[in-house]
Amino acid sequence: MSIRPQLESARASLPALLALDGAQRAALIRLMAAAIRRRTASILQANADDVATGTRAGLSTAMLDRLTLDEGRIEQLAQALEAVAEQPDPLHDAAAPTVRRDGLRLRQVPAPLGVIAMVYESRPNVTADAAALCLMSGNACVLRGGREARHSNQAIAAALHDALAEAGLPASAVTVLDDPDRSLLQELLGCDDLVDVVIPRGGEALIRHVAEHSRIPVIRHYKGVCHLYVDRAADLDRALSLLVDGKSTRPGVCNALECLLVHAEVAARFLPRAGSAMREREVSLRACPRSLPLLDGAQAASQSDWGHEYLDRILAVKVVDDLDAALAHIRRYGSQHTEVIASEDAAACARFVQQVDASAVMVNASSRFNDGGELGLGAEIGISTTKLHAYGPMGLASLTCRKWVVEGEGHVRHPQT
């Protein structure tokens, strides 16, 4: 069975979505939240099926936890949709036109991207979140979740379709693919005439698979290998707070620290404190030869520790000769996600900001601030580590483009005499 009719039907919903104003789109999202609350029982039942199947299939505890819904999580899900509806309209066009000398009026106005395909793994809440973010920005969406959440995703989709029907909109605006054997995914990624962008969310393997096989433009987020560089001019108390916050408060997320770089001149003063703070928080250390003697209980690092995304209570530590050596290390092993400098030397900070290629560069601030909510973007659809289109956390505005609107009174480039 070809996927094309489903994608064509998703595309055919665009004119109806384009005709909605911001208030109508927000009202639609609120209807979706209400429909999800109404259908709580059937969503929980479908989810119980998925969890039972997953348990039999031997899914890890972490996977099962991400998969499992309960009444509280469904209420959170509905509230998350209501928060999307509260966001400013991403298609609102505030800018005044530029008027050329000949009277031609030029504007760039926000427009939806069109049909957005989301490819994701176990968490069924992505089905509702992604649909809300896409619709709020005037886009249709094609959602291809993991097979482990198959029934949950279909039950959530039924609620979303209730809301679309109430609003008089085609169900195909939220097209949920049932693709238990990945065969549809392969075909989907070839349909660049019907889908405008693919956003994969999940593990690195999934994202690489999508990026390598897609003819459709992909917004990627591979991983976060975030470094903290403690400069010789660092305030060491501040540096220690940045280390503790970045490494130990939530080690499993992409904006957590993975590697500490310390200027040789402050290593002897800073590392013993850093080591004991990490030990207290059960973070184990992989240390370079110069830092190893300064860190009680650390293991020697091997080559594979540099650039490694642990997503765990593990930290790589390296002493560097100077700022340039830190920059070179980050250039080689960084992941263009988040990089941090602790320094009171304005020139060193400026050079770090200029030279580091990352979606967010933090100066005396925690890596954990690289987050849509913290940066004021509202709900986040992902974090891009590709520099095209979006770099860093993606809010609603990242689901739009800008088209030119040129208005004249019969203006031409080559007037005929």
Return the residue of 27, 34, 292, 353 that touches a second copy, per CB under 8 A: 353
Nearest to 362 by CA among 279, 275, 243: 243
Question: Which residues in 157-216 contact a second copy (CB under 8 A)?
Answer: 192, 196-197, 211-212, 215
Q: Which is nearer to a second copy, 108 or 284 (CB)?
A: 108
Per CB under 8 A, the list member of 19, 41, 62, 165 interacting with a second copy is: 19
Kindly state the number of chain residues that form the binding site for a second copy, as judged by CB under 8 A.
Answer: 76
Does residue 366 belong to the site contacting a second copy (CB under 8 A)? yes
Binding test (CB under 8 A) with a second copy, winner from 358, 379, 381, 396: 358
Provide, rounded to whole angstroms, the least separation between the CB of residue 116 and a second copy: 10
**Of 41 and 106, CB closest to a second copy:** 106
Identity of the residue, 92 or 411, whose beta carbon is nearer to a second copy in the bound complex: 411
User: Which residues from 130-159 bind a second copy, rule CB under 8 A?
Assistant: none
Considering only residues 285, 327, 348, 379, which one is a binding residue for a second copy as defined by CB under 8 A?
327
Q: b/e map of 92-128 (b: 16 or more CB within 10 Å)?
A: eeeeeeeeeeeeeeeeebbbbbbbbbbbbbbbbbbbb
Tokens coding 334: 């960084």
Q: Which stretch binds a second copy (CB under 8 A): 145-153, 158-166, 293-301, 362-370?
A: 362-370
If the CB atoms of residues 99 and 300 are measured against a second copy, the closer one turns out to be 99
Quote the least distance from Cβ 289 to a second copy, whole Å: 26
| 44 part of the interface to a second copy, by CB under 8 A | no
Of 235 and 322, nearer to a second copy (C-beta) is: 235
408: nearest Cα among 88, 107, 71, 168:
107
Q: How far apart are CA 216 and CA 212, in angstroms?
A: 10
Stretch that binds a second copy, among 43-51, 80-88, 286-294, 403-411 (CB under 8 A): 403-411
Rank residues 49 and 407 by Cβ distance to a second copy and give the closer one.
Answer: 407
* Bridge partner list, 340: 228, 362
Interactions with a second copy, residue window 103-122 (CB under 8 A): 104, 106, 109, 111, 113-114
Contact present, 69 and 152 (Cβ < 8 Å): yes
Distance CA(324)–CA(11), nearest Å, equals: 50
N-terminal to C-terminal alpha carbon distance within the chain = 59
Q: Any idea what DSSP says for residue 414?
A: S
**Amino acid letter for position 335:** S
Q: State the DSSP string of 153-220.
A: HHHHHHHHHHHHHHTT--GGGEEE---TTSHHHHHHTT-TTT-SEEEEES-HHHHHHHHHH-SS-B--
* DSSP-derived 3-state class of residue 100: coil
Q: Write out the binding residues for a second copy, residues 257-316 only, by CB under 8 A.
A: none
Under rule CB under 8 A, residue 402 binds a second copy: yes
Interactions with a second copy, residue window 45-104 (CB under 8 A): 98, 100, 104
Which region holds residue 363: left if phi is over 0, alpha if psi is between -120 and 50, else beta? beta
Q: What's the closest the beta carbon of residue 349 comes to a second copy, in angstroms? A: 8
Show contacts with a second copy in window 209-248 (CB under 8 A). Answer: 211-212, 215, 217-219, 235, 237-239, 241-242, 244-246
